[in-house]
Chains A and B, each alone.
Chain A
Amino acid sequence: MAKTETMTINMGPQHPSTHGVLQLVLELDGEIVRKITPHIGFLHRGVEKLAEHRTYHQVLPLTDRLDYLAPMHNNLGYVLAVEKLLGIDEQIPERANAVRVMMAELTRIKSHLVWLATHALDIGAMTVFLYCFRERERIMDFYEKISGARMTSNYFRVGGLSRDLPDGIEREIRAFIDEMPGHVDTYEGLLSGNKIWQKRVMGIGVIGAKDAIDIGLTGPALRASGVDWDLRRDQSYCDYDKYDFQVITGKDGDTWTRYKCRLDEIRESCKIVRQVLDGLKPGPILADCPKVCLPPKKDVVNTIEGLIHHFKIITEGFKPEPGEVYVGVENPKGEVGYYLISDGSPHPYRMKIRPASFVNLQALPQMAEGAMIADVIAIIGTLDVVLGEIDR
């Protein structure tokens, strides 16, 4: 009997399909993976520490750069946390909430599109990648028109929005939302019926409901294991409970189910956006809290109060009462939570971010040990991790 040894191989941080700078140390027995050790931290920027030296408003652009595929969602979690800390969460105008929900759902579509694109590319289906990016491009255009930036939107503000929607954007978004389900069918047409695709994703990376909860999985990865849990419905924020949508769950907890769940979530998001557009009424976009929200430009130039408020908010920021608060939102990838402690100064005393990908990545060894190299790639894809969020 020949003596065999396992081979240790370094996958990443420079590897085409570790989605950024994830490093996996794999112990291989031929093609079979015996052990996986993920190494993270290559993209660490110290966001949480940086936040301690900035005013609450200045932290906002940092949150864009966490999960850079869903910037608006990160913004949303943060502004909700600060609003709760200030106790103004009941005063957010209706229009601001509606626009927040709409942008959040467009972001979900955008994030899921990148997920599908890269997941399919990792499994070798190259064309899907570019199809998904075509639709993503449309959402990027909306981003640009609405917030001025394509990636780092920084659009929401504590108390509302940074500015109102540009004219005519509703019509464009509606047109996009009307055709998006058809595009999802196209992707399904390219993948779902394909025997090779089915063989590559069915029964791969299975995780049961109990394990999923124990690890702390959230988002589509949790729901695909059969746990019916969605913060949008179960801890409603931004008037999500006003909208009629389904929480998509699966049963099997394998890569195929997660794939199906995310595609269906895109369809549900389209529904929500349509409802938002139907009910969108003109109105204020910032809460009436002059100590927190910047006054309109005409007040800054014309009134002394406006000028003073503007000056104070810009130079010093606002000072929440001492206290602590945790707010979690349903990001495309799972629950992203912001835990803020205020000591009464204009800077957060401490900001702790609960990233979805960081927790979800923990499931990787359990899902992929004993599988083959190609499965590891598929499982990284299906977990939908973003390193910007993991490393912070």
Chain B
Amino acid sequence: MPEWLVTTILILVKLGFVFFLLLTGAAYMVLAERKLLGRMQLRYGPNRVGPFGLLQPLADAVKLVTKEDFIPSQADKFLFFIAPGIAAVTALLTFAVVPFGPPIRLFGREVPLVICDLNIGVLYFLGLSSLAVYGVTLGGWASNSKYALLGSIRALSQLISYELSMGLAIVPVVLMARSFSLTNIVNAQAGLPFAILNPPAFLIFLVSVLAESKRIPFDLPEAENEIVAGFHTEYSGMRFGLFFVGEYINVIILSSMVTVLFLGGWHGPLLPGIVWFFLKVGFISFLFIWTRGTLPRLRYDQLMHFGWKILVPLALVNVIVTGAILLLLNPAKG
């Protein structure tokens, strides 16, 4: 077999694997959330469809697809159409740079377990997460509904604010790993994960990630008790489904980013790398669900206050301190 064919096939297989994994992952994430929340709240969660409710995601998908796809008469049709797509696609694309395991040997060659080991992977992730804001904003704007508009304004300001602290929390990681490539960052944590080396950055990133995922206590863009459903108030059927799936893919992506940037990616004793990776992602996702079961929601101004007056300054100080320490430790290289 010619060399190029093998490469292409390998890439396609990896693509298929990741695509399948993310979509099923997101679907079962919904189930896991409902089950876990149920258990935290003295309920059972879904247990009717299939054994232990395991087929529930399928039933949900069927329901979403067969529901009427309603478009408000005053909506901006084009933007209304593409907004959910943007939300889902940007979320899916981000996983391209996430290394989910150590390189393996296949057909006598070294295959890295990442779709594309971009040398600026971190920037790519930040770029796409900025783009994802468009899905939410345009969706709310195009619906031509006041609640949706309120939701999208909230989403816009929240995501932009927290992107800043998220980016600033990644800077120390890049400084410590001396690379923008996610694979190199994981390799730099072979000894100790950055969460232990730089806990402030880890905590700031974790909080920002919670805000980025638009979940309690930062679920203001879709706070159903205040603004009905926020930016997706007017969406129904599979378009709503895309927003929904996008959100859960986002949770998985953000959990894997936490894993890659701070928890040492696939590094861990005994178990194979890929298992460690998914264990860590699962644990962080569980944290997401757990917070939803326990915390109330912040208010809009409190959210902004927290982001700009607490997280951003802290992150900035952390960048400077980390830089100074690195300089002191390695004066020659600095």
Residues on A close to B: CB < 8 A? 7, 9-10, 15-17, 28, 30-31, 120-127, 129-131, 134, 190-191, 194, 196-197, 199-200, 372-375, 377
Q: Mark B252-278, 1 if CB is under 8 A from A, else 0.
A: 000000000000000000000000000
Interface flags for B285-321 (1: CB within 8 Å of A; 0: not) read 0000000111111111110000000000000000000
Given contacts A9-B147, A196-B296, contact A17 B225 (CB under 8 A): yes
- A180 and B154 CA atoms in complex are apart in Å by 40
Task: Give the dominant DSSP class at B's interface.
Answer: helix
Contact of A374 among B40, B153, B295, B297 (CB under 8 A): B297
State whether the Cβ of B178 lies closer than 8 Å to any Cβ in chain A: no
Instruction: Give Cα A17–Cα B292 distance, bound, in whole angstroms.
Output: 19
B300 touches A194 (CB 8 A): no
Q: How far is the CA of A87 from the CA of B301 in the complex (A)?
A: 58
Residues of A within 8 A of B153 (CB): 30
Do A200 and B42 touch (CB < 8 A)?
no
In the complex, are the beta carbons of A196 and B150 less than 8 A apart?
no
Closest partner residue, chain B, to A121 (CB atom): B225
- Nearest-CB residue, chain B, relative to A118: B225
Query: How distant is the Cα of A28 from the Cα of B41 in the complex, in angstroms?
Result: 35
Please, could you name 28 A-B residue pairs with CB atoms under 8 Å apart, sorted by A? A7-B146, A9-B147, A9-B150, A16-B224, A16-B228, A17-B226, A28-B150, A31-B154, A31-B300, A121-B225, A123-B225, A123-B296, A123-B297, A124-B225, A126-B41, A126-B216, A127-B293, A127-B294, A134-B42, A194-B296, A196-B295, A200-B298, A200-B299, A373-B150, A374-B300, A375-B299, A377-B225, A377-B226
Distance in angstroms from A129 CB to nearest chain B CB is 8
**CB of B212 closer than 8 Å to a CB of A:** no
B10 → chain A, closest Cβ, in Å? 45
Q: Would A372 and B297 count as touching, CB distance under 8 A?
A: no
**Bound Cα distance A92, B224 (Å):** 49
User: B217 within 8 Å of A by Cβ?
Assistant: yes
Are A130 and B42 also in contact (CB < 8 A) when A123-B297, A196-B298 are?
yes
Q: How far is the CA of A372 from the CA of B150 in the complex (A)?
A: 12
Instruction: Say yes or no: A374-B293 contact (C-beta < 8 A), given A124-B217, A130-B41.
Output: no
Q: Which residues of B contact A377 (CB under 8 A)?
A: 225-226
Assess whether B77 is interfacial by the CB under 8 Å rule: no
A194: chain B residues within 8 A (beta carbon): 295-296
* CA distance in complex: A129, B298 (Å): 18
Contact A199 B295 (CB under 8 A): no
Q: Which residue of B lies closest to A191 (CB)?
A: B296
Q: How far is the CA of A129 from the CA of B300 in the complex (A)?
A: 23
Give 7 closest A-B pairs by Cβ, nearest first. Answer: A124-B297, A125-B296, A130-B41, A124-B296, A17-B225, A374-B299, A122-B225
B123 at the interface (CB under 8 A from A): no
Shortest distance in angstroms between B222's beta carbon and chain A's nearest beta carbon?
11
Chain A residues whose CB sits within 8 angstroms of the CB of B43 once the complex forms: 130
Give the Cβ gap from A187 to chain B, nearest Cβ, in Å: 13
Besides the known contacts A127-B40, A194-B296, A196-B296, 6 further A-B residue pairs in the complex with CB atoms under 8 A apart: A16-B225, A28-B150, A372-B300, A374-B300, A377-B225, A377-B226
> Hey, which chain A residues are within 8 Å of B217, CB to CB?
124, 196
Number of interface residues of B (CB under 8 A): 31
B221-247 vs A, CB cutoff 8 Å, 1 = contact: the mask equals 001111110000000000000000000
Q: Is B219 an interface residue when CB atoms closer than 8 A count as contact?
A: yes
Given contacts A126-B41, A134-B42, whether A373 and B226 have CB atoms under 8 Å apart is yes
Which chain B residues (33-51) contact chain A, with CB distance < 8 Å? 37, 40-43
Q: Which residue of A lies closest to B224 (CB)?
A: A16
On whether the beta carbons of A200 and B150 are closer than 8 Å, the reply is no
Tell me how far the C-beta of B275 lies from the nearest C-beta in chain A, rounded to whole angstroms. Answer: 31
Residues of B at the A interface (CB closer than 8 Å) are 37, 40-43, 146-147, 150, 153-154, 216-217, 219-220, 223-228, 292-302
Q: How far is the CA of A9 from the CA of B150 in the complex (A)?
A: 10
- Kindly state the separation between the CA atoms of A142 and B224 in the bound complex, as whole angstroms: 33
List of B residues within 8 angstroms of A120 by Cβ: 296
- A373 touching B227 in the complex, CB below 8 Å, given contacts A130-B42, A196-B297: yes
Report the Cα distance A7→B292, complex, angstroms: 31
Min CB–CB distance A320 → chain B (angstroms): 47
Find chain A residues with CB under 8 A from B219 CB.
124
- CB contacts (< 8 Å) of A196 on chain B: these are 217, 295-298
Assess the B296–A131 pair: CB atoms within 8 A: no
Once bound together, how far apart are the Cα atoms of A284 and B295, in whole Å?
51
A128 → chain B closest CB, angstroms: 9
Partner of A199, one of B42, B228, B294, B299: B299
Tell me the bound Cα distance from A317 to B192 in angstroms: 85
Chain B residue nearest to A8 (CB atoms) is B146
Assembled-state Cα–Cα distance A122/B228 (Å): 11
Residue from the list A9, A125, A129, A375 in contact with B295, Cβ < 8 A:
A125
- From A10, A28, A372, contact of B301 by CB (8 A): A372
Residues from chain A with a CB closer than 8 A to the CB of B220 are 374
In whole Å, how far is A233's beta carbon from the nearest beta carbon of chain B? 34
CA distance in complex: A129, B224 (Å): 15
B230 to chain A, nearest CB (A): 12
A116 to chain B, nearest CB (A): 13
A7–B146 Cα gap in the complex (Å)?
Answer: 8
Choose among B146, B292, B298 the residue that contacts A126 (Cβ–Cβ < 8 A): B292
Q: How far is the CA of A233 from the CA of B298 in the complex (A)?
A: 39
Which residues of chain B are within 8 angstroms of A16 by Cβ–Cβ distance?
A: 224-225, 228
Residues of chain B lying within 8 A (CB to CB) of residue A131: 41-42
Chain A residues with CB under 8 Å of B299's CB are 199-200, 372, 374-375
**A374-B223, A377-B226 known; A124-B295 Cβ under 8 A:** yes
From known contacts A9-B147, A130-B41, infer whether A199 and B298 are also in contact, taking CB-CB under 8 Å.
yes
Q: What separation, in Å, do the CA atoms of A28 and B225 have in the docked complex?
A: 17
When distances are taken between beta carbons in the complex, the residues of chain A under 8 Å from B226 are: 17, 373-374, 377
Once A9-B146, A134-B42, A374-B223 are accepted as A-B contacts, the answer to whether A126 and B293 lie under 8 Å apart by CB is: yes
**Smallest beta-carbon distance B151→chain A, Å:** 11
Report chain A residues within 8 Å CB of B225: 16-17, 121-124, 377
Q: How far is the CB of A182 from chain B (nearest CB, A)?
A: 16
Give the docked Cα–Cα distance between A120 and B41 (Å). Answer: 14
Distance A64 CA – B37 CA, assembled complex (angstroms): 34
Bound together, the chains give a CA A194 to CA B297 distance in angstroms of 11
In whole angstroms, what is the CA distance A199 to B267 when docked? Answer: 40
Chain A min CB distance to B16 (Å): 37
